[in-house]
Amino acid sequence: MQLAAAPMKGYPNETADYWAKKQEIAANQQALTKLQGEIDQVDEQFGAKEDDVKELVQKSKQQNDTNALGNITEELAKHQLVVGQIFKHAEKIRENVTAIRTQMDDCQIPANIKKRQQEIELFQDKLMAVNDSFAIL
């Protein structure tokens, strides 16, 4: 018959605060990975629009017909709207990344290290007490 060991009083277990922080960090990493994919997509979209605009500018330099130039201007205006939407999406991504970065800066690593040091010292004291009890027997 096996018995499950109960955590010692004052000894950290999976309900300790660092498990929640670990899960939070993992969630932030997943969110950042997703945002990186969105950044790559924005980069592709912007690159394609940039190529289209360069092509239209080149066409405009070769045209003398006002109707053709008017059509090129309309196409450039459409591209301007799409590029504006791409920039808005890129700005939202930047805001999300900044929010995650700010949140992850709040991990307070020095405070966590000090707390873990205190837990280790507490554990060592209890271990020494147990060892002393066995030495008496």
Percent pLDDT > 90 in the chain is 15
Q: Where are the domains of the chain?
A: 27-129
Q: Flag whether pLDDT at 126 surpasses 50.
A: yes
Record: fold of 27-129? Methane Monooxygenase Hydroxylase; Chain G, domain 1 (1.20.58)
Between CA 77 and CA 30, with CA 82 as vertex, the angle to 5 degrees is 165
For the record, the structure tokens of 9 come out as 């009083």
Confidence of residue 6 (pLDDT cuts 50, 70, 90): very low
